[in-house]
Structure 1
Amino acid sequence: MSTEKPLPFIYQFTAGAVAGVSEILTMYPLDVVKTRVQLQTGKGTGADSYNGMLDCFQKIVRNEGFSRLYRGITAPILMEAPKRATKFAANDEWGKFYRSVFGVDKMNQSLSILTGASAGATESFVVVPFELVKIRLQDKASAGKYTGMIDVVSKTIRNEGVLAMYNGLESTLWRHILWNAGYFGCIFQVRELLPEATTKRGKITNDLISGSIGGTVGTIINTPMDVVKSRIQNSPKVAGQVPKYNWAWGACATVMREEGFGALYKGFLPKVLRLGPGGGILLVVFTGVMDFFRSVRAS
């Protein structure tokens, strides 16, 4: 993401890993709330029904305990390092590839969107198994079925087969292609519009603004795919039965038909509150760590 000379892959990978873990430690409870709201298909009543983000927060803490807001965090922590590292490293590598293919020296808006989408597709193959584990641990209905991350993996493979760990790959591809295209495309455009930073503080501010806007736009674009991905991954495969939520666009149609278009944006508020500021945190930490590596190499 830096405009300076790119560092070798291992430095990009490490900086992305540090940025990802920093973001998830800060924002994870919002992800739990988002998933609970997305998986809710009816308007029921009681402790298992949520009227919005704050209601979900309150009911989880009151009925299940504060620690439940961090249930399933092991899988995301293990996922965040390769996921975010792959995101930023793939974005830089795809950027080099597309600049070479199209014969241009510098990135532009169109190439930023294309590069981000390609990085998102690459990232998807890394995250699917971790996402499946996370979703099943976060769902309250699944709380009694699994004792932890390893138990989810072993029971899923034993009951549904090895390939079930990649359940939801297609919807995850769409989710990450759309988010990364919006995220990196917006970062490029916003950086162009902001006054050039002349101090370290100004650079951090610009990164925080552009990353937050990019995260917000990416979230607006990809939330419907995130909703159906959550439902697809939380639906165990049963031999001889076609899951209600199977393929991304078909699942979108099912949700709209049964619950209305607005249901495709369930969990949007906690998601955008996480990935808007979270996108800024990602960019600031990634850029900061890369600058640190440059200073170490220079000395």
Structure 2
Amino acid sequence: MYPLDVVKTRFQLQVGKGGADGYTSIADCLKKIVRNEGPAALYRGILPPIAVEAPKRAVKFAANEQYTLFYKRLFGMDRVTQPLSILTGMSAGATEAFLVVSFELVKIRLQDKNNAGKYSGTMDAVKKIYAEEGASAFVKGLESCLWRHAIWSGGYFGVIHGVRSALPEAHSKEGVLFRNFVAGAIGGTVGTMLNTPFDVVKTRVQGQLPGQPAKYGWAFPALRTIAKEEGFGALYKGFAPKVLRLGPGGGILLVVFDQVSGFIRKHLL
């Protein structure tokens, strides 16, 4: 699914229509990347997300469970409600953001077509970013990253609770799998609908290089700037490849988490 992430980033970094070399659709973007940069460019920057993907998901679900216990005690609640699911999800997403922000920065720099030839690989990018911008560069975009992850996870876990409550109880293994996939896929889709504007901002902030005017800073002023200069639709650049990846991905994520955690609880604890 990673080429879709490259496509998403290219669209989010593209100001306006991008001129003669701009991308008009997912297929057009994939075709131009392969034609102009070679097939390997579809996987440029893949090492940072590979390195952080498993820890990121572990932190998301572990933090969500711990925040659930914390907020239930704090508010004196004996059961989980949908508002509580949204709150715990947002808290877990914000926690997750601190882990991923540096990896996201390196990935964005490698995926940007304007940086082609600037970095020979992931470690070369890390060294050059540190040499040119200092250690603080690796937390660039943290605020928008916090909003991105908090809103996605809040929507994800909130929708999962709602869908599970609305669907009939499953009485077979297959039924449980299907119920979880549907809930997770809808949750992933809604989370993506909610957080894409903050993802666009994060990408723009992290894509800014030293020596260039810092056009994008804090998340909400940046949202206004993009909407004013490029129209409201620009806040959803890259939405199609993003939702194609995170919609079904959200379903698979919940199914795998439920099955693996259930196995561990039954056989290893």
C-alpha distance in 2, partners of 1:219/1:43?
22
Written as runs of structure 1 = structure 2, the 5 A alignment for 1:170-249 is 170-238=143-211, 243-249=214-220
- Per-residue deviation, 1:66: 2.5
- Per-residue deviation, 1:45: 4.1
What amino acid sits opposite 2:11 in the alignment? Answer: V
- Per-residue deviation, 1:62: 2.8
Matched, 1:141 2:106: no
C-alpha distance in 2, partners of 1:58/1:191?
40
Partners of 1:183 and 1:217 within 8 A in 2: yes
- Per-residue deviation, 1:63: 2.6
What amino acid sits opposite 1:271 in the alignment? Answer: K
What amino acid sits opposite 2:145 in the alignment? Answer: T
Written as runs of structure 1 = structure 2, the 5 A alignment for 1:1-299 is 27-46=1-20, 48-238=21-211, 243-297=214-268
What amino acid sits opposite 1:259 in the alignment? Answer: E
C-alpha distance in 1, partners of 2:30/2:78?
48
1:9 aligned partner = none
C-alpha distance in 2, partners of 1:62/1:242?
31
C-alpha distance in 2, partners of 1:268/1:224?
9
**CA shift in 2, pair 1:197/1:56, >3 Å:** same
- Consecutive unaligned residues of structure 2, counting only runs of 5 or more, are none
- Per-residue deviation, 1:154: 1.0
C-alpha distance in 2, partners of 1:200/1:28?
30
Give the TM-score normalised by the residue count of structure 1.
0.87
Partners of 1:95 and 1:111 within 8 A in 2: yes
Partners of 1:164 and 1:237 within 8 A in 2: no
C-alpha distance in 2, partners of 1:194/1:294?
25
- Per-residue deviation, 1:287: 1.0
SS at match of 1:197: coil
* Aligned-CA RMSD value: 1.3
C-alpha distance in 2, partners of 1:63/1:119?
40
C-alpha distance in 1, partners of 2:267/2:40?
39
C-alpha distance in 2, partners of 1:262/1:44?
15
What amino acid sits opposite 1:36 in the alignment? Answer: R
C-alpha distance in 1, partners of 2:72/2:213?
43
Percentage of identical aligned residues: 61
SS at match of 1:55: helix
What amino acid sits opposite 2:239 in the alignment? Answer: F
- Per-residue deviation, 1:143: 1.8
SS at match of 1:202: helix
Partners of 1:174 and 1:225 within 8 A in 2: yes
C-alpha distance in 2, partners of 1:62/1:105?
58
What amino acid sits opposite 1:185 in the alignment? Answer: G
What amino acid sits opposite 1:258 in the alignment? Answer: E
What amino acid sits opposite 1:122 in the alignment? Answer: T
- Per-residue deviation, 1:285: 1.1
- Per-residue deviation, 1:70: 1.4
What amino acid sits opposite 1:52 in the alignment? Answer: S
- Consecutive unaligned residues of structure 1, counting only runs of 5 or more, are 1-26
What amino acid sits opposite 2:202 in the alignment? Answer: K
What amino acid sits opposite 2:242 in the alignment? Answer: K
Number of positions where the alignment pairs a residue of Structure 1 with one of Structure 2: 269
